[in-house]
Structure 1
């Protein structure tokens, strides 16, 4: 069974989170954010962080932020919860499966992306979206090949 998709993005400034999440209705979720990512202003890395750890961001605001800014992602943990559902900590795949969280996006070491999603149609769309953006080493995460022990970076 497909759990999600993994791939590599270029280690450079850009709006890669926006590009990665294009198949997802970002505005339909509340996003729990964490990690280390910085805005890029006039081609230079800024001190201002893109996310604050464990902040909950409304989907429409989050979508606009990802779409209209340039940023540099180092480590990222994003967790999408539908409106009206409980936002809680999700640290393992089992916790994810039992929670209201519908999508987890992780970026490690600037480039290594793993996305877990409960909706099989969205998993396929994320896979083909990654191919369309020429991301590298695109593959499905399955029950058989998933070596991750936690959904954190």
Structure 2
């Protein structure tokens, strides 16, 4: 059974998070912002944090505006998409399955993306999108090859 996908992207400034999330209507979700380090890029220089440290959640419309109107650089990220409403603490894949969370996006070392997704059709769309974007080492995450013990970047 497919749990999600993983892939590598180039280590550069840009709009990669917007490109990765393209198959998803980000506006229909509330997004929990976990630990991470990412910056808005202004004049090819790192500027303020993409997600402020005091903000632990963002509505989908606000996330879309943020991603559509900025270049950014992501060192690490931990985002979780929920139907409008409350968040739950997710530490493992089993927690994810038992929660209302629809998607978990993890970025490590600026290049390594992992996406867990509840909806199987969305997994296929994310995989096709990653291939269309030219990302490398695209793989499905399955029960057999999932080595992750925690769904977090730290």
Separation (CA, whole Å) in 2 of partners of 1:26 and 1:128: 18
The equivalent residue for 1:78 is 79
The equivalent residue for 1:67 is 68
The equivalent residue for 1:113 is 113
What is the TM-score when the length of structure 2 is the normalising length?
Answer: 0.95
Question: 1:52: how far off?
Answer: 3.1
Question: 1:45: how far off?
Answer: 1.2
Separation (CA, whole Å) in 1 of partners of 2:134 and 2:151: 25
What is the TM-score when the length of structure 1 is the normalising length?
Answer: 0.96
Separation (CA, whole Å) in 2 of partners of 1:3 and 1:52: 29
Q: Deviations over 1:80-117 (max 9, x none)?
A: 00013x21221110100000111000000110000000
- Extract unaligned runs of 5+ from structure 2: none
Separation (CA, whole Å) in 1 of partners of 2:64 and 2:10: 21
The equivalent residue for 2:90 is 90
1:3-152 correspondence to structure 2 within 5 Å: 3-34=3-34, 35-46=36-47, 48-53=48-53, 55-84=56-85, 86-152=86-152
Separation (CA, whole Å) in 2 of partners of 1:21 and 1:43: 23
Separation (CA, whole Å) in 1 of partners of 2:135 and 2:68: 18
Answer yes or no: is the 8 Å Cα contact 1:33–1:55 preserved in 2.
yes
Answer yes or no: is the 8 Å Cα contact 1:33–1:52 preserved in 2.
no
Would you identify which runs of 4 or more consecutive aligned residues in structure 1 move more than 3 Å? none
* Residue-pair matches, total: 151
Q: Which moved more, 1:54-63 or 1:94-103?
A: 54-63
- RMSD, aligned α-carbons: 1.0
The alignment partner of 2:38 has SS state of: strand
Separation (CA, whole Å) in 2 of partners of 1:116 and 1:44: 31
Question: 1:28: how far off?
Answer: 0.3
